Structure 1
């Protein structure tokens, strides 16, 4: 298990948005409702993060350790790579790193910084763009460059919809849709995004029979009727096939999903010459990651995927998925894997 943690890569998810869009509110929500995910957050200053309510366990230099296993860091861009080294160390046990871009920051520069990092334990995990549904029209007039920022995003969070009536909400959504194309748009209020839409919930072994004090997160979840499942507004679809997938058609499916798919995860079985192992799939919005791995002893060699989103036509999704099953005449040599290599980390 220790060796597995050493080998794993930690996704770095960037959160961008104009001043006042709700980025910090989103981060606070993720930290308070982390689902057991140990999140390392990088911000410009501690003042914006509601640390007092999260039981600070200790502070060392620019890092604050929270009682729920998360870490919070305050750095500027010049120190970012150094902070990645600290957060990605084996001692931190962090599962994911979230970087809040300042309201005026250029997201493209942050993406380049993550991609250029020499830290082999981190991997770019996608860009989440936060939009203030109330002020969006005015923000675009004053800062037209925001369109380019949003076009870099893999997932759009349309925030503050509780302050819009149905007609206003539809107008804003249509405008954002025209800007970002097919990038999924998640509508919410008060920055409430379920952590499971952005990150994997780790499997941790806990002895439930032993006498222990419940953590703050567990107490919160016990009071929340929705703690054991995703928000009722989301839908999930599970896809399965024990036949190998054709890499080219499968990647095309990932690049052009049906409906607003916020998240997909699972294992893919290609069974191509030289690539007999499984591929671990993780997507956040339009950001795709495929990591090669070995099949566990006794594990069924099959493709198993879960889609999470809204307006997912399960029947149509399954038809498209099964169309990816390898057919006679499909390439099975190394060249077939070229589309997959676009989405694998280079280490």
Structure 2
């Protein structure tokens, strides 16, 4: 029997990993394999995915719409050779990925026969600035979607949410809109019965351009929380996204999930048992030429000094 593929796309910080986790938690015994692509050598998202019955496969240090195309097809082929095969495959793309290029690869006849692309889901952040809807990358992510999951609607008032839903509908009139606060979404919407997949037409492949770049920073020992906060304060205005796992000198027994989206930073405690590795590891994402590694290293050197 064919194994359906769910492709999850969305801009940086929209809430893709939260939604994928909720899907996996609702698997109800189904073997779901998760393929997670992060834009950086450290795949934070793969560490945060829990509950995949058929395992998590990490694709790091690039995006699967360009430099990792071959890796994606090989990964899918390997998953389909497992015994037993997964019941479904969820692919979470990097926030910098153009899903149209990925869809084109998934139309490969060999993959399509065994693993048809059933649903393309785009996570859209209701709390993001209205100007984001004119971003060419986000527009491409929205236009290819069958389903648009509106995240973070609980962070805005009703008129703002209604206006965002209307704008999203105008961008893609074919897609079904559903609110997905906290990643909550009906499983039958994202993983329908096998056999509903349709072949898709895509535009010819366009030349890729390097719009974003990533920088990784790690520390083996717990770091100063105060120093880290100062460093992020210095760097935030030139970053489009940052995320990672943080271990602090102030609370060495607690691991934190750090997230920075549009200048807003959060720290969320994580269960120590859920972490495969120890130490601090942060991925910084910026538009090309907005920041250089030496500036990140200089700012983060303060965090390395324990208070």
Q: Would you call these one fold, judging by a TM-score over 0.5?
A: yes
Which of residues 66, 78, 81 in structure 2 aligns to 1:89?
81
Residue pair 1:22, 1:191 contacting (<8 A) in 2 also: yes
Correspondences of 1:124-273 after superposition (within 5 Å) = 124-141=117-134, 143-200=135-192
Indicate the SS of the match to 1:118. helix
Give structure 2 stretches of 5+ with no counterpart: 60-67, 201-307
| Separation in 1, partners of 2:190, 2:49 | 25
| Separation in 1, partners of 2:157, 2:168 | 17
RMSD across aligned positions (CA): 2.4
Offset of residue 47 of structure 1: 2.1
| Separation in 2, partners of 1:51, 1:92 | 25
Indicate yes or no: 2:58 matched with 1:74: yes
Instruction: Report what 2:27 is aligned to.
Output: 34
Residue pair 2:21, 2:49 contacting (<8 A) in 1 also: no
| Separation in 2, partners of 1:95, 1:153 | 22
Instruction: Report what 2:196 is aligned to.
Output: 282
Residue pair 1:31, 1:70 contacting (<8 A) in 2 also: no
Residue pair 1:44, 1:102 contacting (<8 A) in 2 also: yes
Residue pair 2:5, 2:117 contacting (<8 A) in 1 also: yes
Offset of residue 51 of structure 1: 5.1
Higher mean C-alpha deviation, range 154-163 or range 191-200: 191-200
Give structure 1 stretches of 5+ with no counterpart: 1-7, 55-65, 201-264, 266-279, 290-347
Instruction: Report what 2:258 is aligned to.
Output: none
Residue pair 2:118, 2:191 contacting (<8 A) in 1 also: no
Instruction: Report what 2:44 is aligned to.
Output: 47
Instruction: Report what 1:17 is aligned to.
Output: 10
Cα distance change on mapping 1:83 and 1:129 into 2, 3 Å: same
Instruction: Report what 2:278 is aligned to.
Output: none
Cα distance change on mapping 1:31 and 1:136 into 2, 3 Å: farther
* Larger Cα-atom Rg: 1
Instruction: Report what 2:214 is aligned to.
Output: none
Which of residues 114, 121, 136 in structure 1 aligns to 2:114?
121
What TM-score, normalized to structure 1?
A: 0.49
| Separation in 2, partners of 1:288, 1:84 | 18
Offset of residue 121 of structure 1: 1.6
Residue pair 1:81, 1:117 contacting (<8 A) in 2 also: no
Q: How many residues align?
A: 187
